Structure formats: structure tokens, C-alpha cells
């Protein structure tokens, strides 16, 4: 008696003829025989991670041999070692989360372990995308390289931001190729692009959706991907205030920058940090061999650390506890900065001939006016200055002196930087009150 599927395999093998001499004809023969397959090669066991040395049970952290009926077609390229030391992995994450600036450092490291554990599974129940963001050299690229180095391109893929900006039914070759990945990363963003909500929602929630490539018909796919963005600035949605979109986002600010004091651009970045009164622990020395020293050779440590996170995710009822600091960061991201700057201009600024005021001083007053709503990572003085310029330009059309205000570069009472001429801060409303 033939084993199940053996007859089908023999029929496919017997299909050899002159037509399979080219790739096109091979695909035609295989497509004609698809109905003979008795099993599915889809990611049917989301709580298991195939590796090159076996199958990892993400519920227990155990390892077993790969069996033919596992129907494995994609594997993690790092061999799994259940006894690997997770110390190097933990130290890597702690290196850009200094305790002085991140009082909840251990909770954040645990979150990263669980997020990556969830990401290497085939689950999509959390329907969540994590944004790792911050200006400058602050580990974003290193983390992208790390994930690719440990997982390999069969489990992990990178795609351009444009993939998430296309509507359903449009040609999207790069995203189509990444549909079977468990973790999809975006490492560059264009401030002019806006993410399309429905396409994004389908991807992170695992809903069956349509996928189309150039010159091909649409096909039904059921994505298992988790989306992580490593960007300088958080991208915008077409309807960014919609709850069904915003509830799927978690924001992880990367505050620590790494600079080379020999480079003028890096020194300027460090000086700007100090001018913004950021703690010195958030300015680190750039090591161009950091990846080689702390990642290469430690792949098993990272994989074990992520599997521990997956076990915790399953033990916690397939949930991830988001640290309070990240929850607060989410509320800051949803804060309407444009309206806040407009209110600030109306309440706190006035036309005053021959007066000068630094943009940095205006930013400090803005932060004091909206305590807890903004910080230098989510909304820094440069972003504030850009919106302030647009707001003042809009008011200039109304007259009353706003058109006389000029933005210049220079010094004001010993301070240097961009300043506004013919502009002054009003006295606070409660000035002089007991």
C-alpha cells in the first residue's frame, strides 16, 4: 500500500516531457498538478519555528527533529541552542537603553524579548505594529541587520515604505514577495508618504487579502507578518486619527545617539542634544565595529532570547504587556501638534517691533504650556520650528504686524541659533498672581 500522497508524487514525477525544459513550462506542469497535492505548505503551525537544526516549540522552548509531515519550506538560518547564554543579547539591548534615561529599562528589554518572540511566531492576534524611531545614529540600522543576520530572509524581510502606501488591487511586487515572512521591516521613510489604512490593517491583523504583482492576476493570501518600522520620523496615515488604525501602533523612542567626535556633523548633533538639556548618558561613542563585536558570533544568544520571549507571550495568554512609558509615548504621538502650535501662537506670542526671541526659547515655553504632551524625541525644536513658521506665515495674511516678523540666524542675549525678529512672548496669564 502506498503512503498518503505517494501516488500523487509519482504522477507529478511522470510529467517529465519536452515542455519542462524551460522554467515557464515547468511552472505550467506544476500548476496543472496542484490539485493532486493532499497537504498544504502554508504556515499551519504558528507556535513552531523551523530552524536548520530542528523545530522549535515556541510554547516550551524545546527542540525536536524536523519530520517530513511538517511540510517545512522556510527555516530560520541560525541553529537553535536551548542552552545558549542570553547575556550577550540582553547586554546589546541595554546598551542603547541607559538606566539613567530609561528608569524602566528592564521592562523595556522584556518587551523587546516578547515582541521579537511574537514576531518569530506565525500568530497575528495582537494586530500590532511597533515603530522604533529617533533622529540620528541610534541603533535602528543595527537592529535591522541583527534581525536579518539571525533569522535570514526566509523568515525576515525588508520592504520599502511605498509598499504600505498602495491600495488593494495595485501592483505591489515587493510586498507580495514578503507575504510569507513572519517579520517584515521598514528601515527608511519619506515624510511625504502616507500609509493606506485598509492595506495596513489587513497585513498586521492576518486577514485574508488580495495580492497582485505586475502582469499577474490578484491572488488570495493570508499574511502572517508582523510589521516593525525603524525610522527617523513616524510616518503618517491617510486618516491618522482613526481609532482602528492608531490602536494597532506601539511607539518605541530610541533616544541614545552614537557620535564620532572627529566628524563635525556628529559633534553638531551632540551639541544640539546638550543644548536641549538631554542627559549625557544619551550621547555615546560610535564604534564602527559594534556589529562585528556584539552580534556576529552571538546569533544563538539572540535567538534563545527571542524564544524566551515567545514562551512568555504564550504563557501570558498570547498577550504582551506594554510598559507604561511606551503607553505614554503613544498618547504623545496622537497629540495634535499643529493645533497646539496654533494655540501657542495665539495665547503666548505677539508682534513687538525690534524685539528678538530664539526658536529654542519658544520651544521651551511650548513644552511648558503642554506638559507631558510632547518631548524632544516625539516633537523636537526643529519640528516645532517648521510648524511655527507655517503658522506665522498664515497669520501674516491677516495683517496686524505678523507680516513684519522675520526668521533669521544669529544670537540673542548670548544664545545662538534661529530667532524671530519683531516677535516677543506675552506675559503669562497668571503672572504676578499669588
For 304-403, strand residue ranges (E) read 349-358
Dihedral sign for Cα atoms in the order 138, 139, 142, 147: negative
Helices 87-95 and 299-315 meet at what angle, rounded to 10?
90
Torsion, Cα of 20, 22, 25, 27 (10° steps): 100
For the stretch 215-267, pLDDT in tens is 677 777 778 889 999 998 888 877 655 555 666 789 999 999 999 999 999 99
For the stretch 109-126, pLDDT in tens is 999 999 999 999 999 999
> In the structure grid, which three cell numbers stand for residue 415, read together?
544664545
pLDDT given at position 13: 60
Average pLDDT over residues 165-180: 78
| Cα separation values, 196 from 110, 117, 179, 186, 222, Å | 31, 27, 17, 15, 18
> Phi/psi of residue 15, each to 5°?
-80, 10
pLDDT given at position 425: 93
**Domain 337-425 indexed as CATH 3.30.365.10:** no
Q: How confident is the model at residue 209 (pLDDT cuts 50, 70, 90)?
A: confident
Are 352 and 259 a contacting pair, CB within 8 Å? no
Residue 80: is its pLDDT beyond 90?
Answer: yes
pLDDT given at position 11: 60
pLDDT given at position 42: 56
Burial degree of 32 (CB within 10 A; 0-12, 13-18, 19+): exposed
Higher pLDDT, 142 or 402: 142
Are 115 and 147 a contacting pair, CB within 8 Å? no
Amino acid at each position: 500500500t502506498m503512503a498518503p500522497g505517494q501516488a500523487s508524487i509519482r504522477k507529478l514525477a511522470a510529467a517529465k516531457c519536452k515542455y519542462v525544459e524551460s522554467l515557464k513550462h515547468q511552472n505550467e506542469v506544476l500548476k496543472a498538478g496542484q490539485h493532486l497535492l493532499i497537504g498544504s505548505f502554508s504556515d499551519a503551525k504558528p507556535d513552531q519555528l523551523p530552524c536548520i537544526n530542528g523545530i522549535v516549540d515556541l510554547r516550551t522552548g524545546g527542540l525536536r527533529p524536523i519530520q517530513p509531515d511538517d511540510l517545512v519550506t522556510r527555516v530560520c538560518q541560525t541553529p537553535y541552542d536551548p542552552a545558549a547564554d542570553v547575556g550577550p543579547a540582553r547586554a546589546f539591548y541595554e546598551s542603547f537603553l541607559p538606566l539613567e534615561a530609561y528608569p524602566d529599562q528592564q521592562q523595556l528589554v522584556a518587551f523587546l524579548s516578547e515582541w521579537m518572540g511574537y514576531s518569530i511566531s506565525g500568530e497575528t492576534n495582537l494586530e500590532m505594529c511597533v515603530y522604533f524611531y529617533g533622529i540620528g545614529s541610534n541603533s535602528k540600522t543595527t537592529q535591522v541587520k541583527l534581525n536579518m543576520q539571525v533569522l535570514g530572509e526566509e523568515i525576515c524581510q525588508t520592504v520599502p515604505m511605498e509598499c504600505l502606501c498602495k491600495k488593494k488591487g495595485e501592483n505591489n511586487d515587493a510586498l507580495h514577495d514578503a507575504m510569507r515572512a513572519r517579520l517584515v521591516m521598514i528601515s527608511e521613510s519619506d515624510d511625504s508618504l502616507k500609509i493606506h489604512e485598509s492595506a495596513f490593517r489587513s497585513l498586521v491583523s492576518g486577514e485574508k487579502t488580495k495580492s497582485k504583482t505586475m502582469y499577474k492576476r490578484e491572488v488570495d493570501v493570508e499574511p502572517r507578518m508582523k510589521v516593525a518600522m525603524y525610522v527617523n520620523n513616524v510616518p503618517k496615515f491617510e486618516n491618522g486619527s482613526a481609532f482602528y488604525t492608531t490602536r494597532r501602533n506601539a511607539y518605541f523612542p530610541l533616544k541614545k545617539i552614537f557620535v564620532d567626535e572627529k566628524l563635525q556633523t556628529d559633534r553638531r548633533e551632540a551639541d544640539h542634544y546638550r543644548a536641549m538639556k538631554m542627559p549625557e548618558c544619551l550621547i555615546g561613542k560610535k564604534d564602527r565595529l559594534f556589529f562585528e563585536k556584539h552580534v556576529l558570533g552571538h546569533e544563538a544568544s539572540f535567538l534563545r532570547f527571542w524564544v524566551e520571549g515567545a514562551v512568555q507571550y504564550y504563557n501570558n495568554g498570547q498577550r504582551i504587556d506594554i510598559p507604561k512609558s511606551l503607553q505614554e509615548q503613544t498618547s504623545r504621538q496622537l497629540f495634535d501638534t499643529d493645533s497646539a502650535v496654533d494655540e501657542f501662537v495665539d495665547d503666548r506670542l505677539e508682534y513687538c517691533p525690534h524685539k528678538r526671541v530664539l526658536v529654542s526659547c519658544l520651544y521651551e515655553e511650548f513644552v511648558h504650556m503642554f506638559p507631558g504632551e510632547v518631548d524632544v524625541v516625539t516633537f523636537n525644536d526643529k519640528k516645532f520650528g517648521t510648524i511655527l513658521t507655517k503658522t506665522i506665515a498664515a497669520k501674516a495674511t491677516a495683517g496686524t504686524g505678523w507680516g513684519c516678523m522675520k526668521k533669521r540666524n544669529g544670537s540673542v542675549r548670548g544664545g545662538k541659533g534661529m530667532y524671530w525678529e519683531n516677535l516677543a512672548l506675552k506675559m503669562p496669564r497668571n503672572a504676578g498672581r499669588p
